[in-house]
Amino acid sequence: MKTTKLSAIADVQCGLVLNRKEARTAETANRHYRRLNLRSLQKDGRLNTNELGNLDSVECLDEQFLTRSGDIIIRFFAPLSPVFIQDSEVGLVIPSQLAVMRIEDDVPVLTEYLRWYLSSTAVSNTLLLTESSHVQRSIKIRALSALSVPMLPLEKQELIIRIYETGLRRDMVLSHLREVSRLSTSSKFFCRAFSIFSRYSLYLSCSISICTYSSSV
């Protein structure tokens, strides 16, 4: 399977060191921003806007440190929790504890596929493994830029995205079933439902693995 370094696919950079721009007093504040933090990034690939912080800056910040639609934001600490920035989530400050990836023009890689790949356990383990084979707590921007990304055909990238999104919907249904089962006096039906959805979960995981593997043969 053909692979390409992440740095050849996307612009990869660190976020802003906030204390260099943060206003210490109300008198020195020039602009108010909402900012990301580690808690803003959820494991399901979505941004939790209820966990945003505030930043009063002494000046207007460079746009490279503000979120854009289509950005992928990732933590430098485990869990990496990469998220995809939606149209309604632009203009947020990216702090130095996070990295931002912006796919280059004319590169045949879908943003949602790259976000899914970065969220995989295998990638997390690779990035957190040092050259001396010791697991570290954080990753370096150099290791992230050098990460090899499988260059799957676009139709297979789209299939992986659809399967992944179906899995997210499945998880929401399971969560609802658990809550209903907890409140229900008759749990036999819900036990059966859990069994069905568990097998469905395994099927989705296997489907993604098959899609990736079949591109290598």
Cβ 93 vs Cβ 61: under 8 Å: yes
As a whole number of angstroms, the distance between CA 39 and CA 71 comes to: 17
DSSP string covering 191-203: HHHHHHHHHHHHH
CA distances for 200 relative to 6, 175, 196, 214, angstroms = 32, 15, 6, 21
Residue 199 clears pLDDT 70, i.e. is over it:
no
- In terms of Cα–Cα distance, which of 58, 2, 69, 70 is closest to 31? 58
- The whole-model pTM stands at 0.78
pLDDT top residue among 199 and 18: 18
Q: Which residues are paired to 103 by β-bridges?
A: 10
CA dist., res. 53 & res. 31, Å (int) = 14
pLDDT class of 213 with cuts at 50, 70, 90: very low
Phi, psi of 26 (to 5 degrees): -65, -30
Give the tokens for residue 182.
């907890």
Lowest mean pLDDT among 16-30, 82-96, 167-181: 167-181
Q: What is the pLDDT of residue 194?
A: 53
Q: Is the peptide bond before 95 cis (omega within 30 degrees of 0)?
A: no
Please report the pLDDT score of residue 132 as a whole number: 47
Q: State pLDDT tens for residues 160-190.
A: 999 888 877 776 666 666 666 666 655 555 5
The pLDDT of 19-39, averaged and rounded, is 90
**The predicted structure's pLDDT at residue 190:** 53
What are all long-range contacts of 44-51, with beta carbons under 8 Å and residues at least 24 apart?
Answer: 44/168, 44/171, 45/82, 45/83, 45/84, 45/115, 45/116, 45/119, 45/168, 46/83, 46/84, 47/73, 47/83, 47/85, 47/86, 47/89, 49/89
Does the pLDDT value for residue 44 go beyond 80?
yes
Residue 136 to residue 130: CA distance in whole angstroms: 7
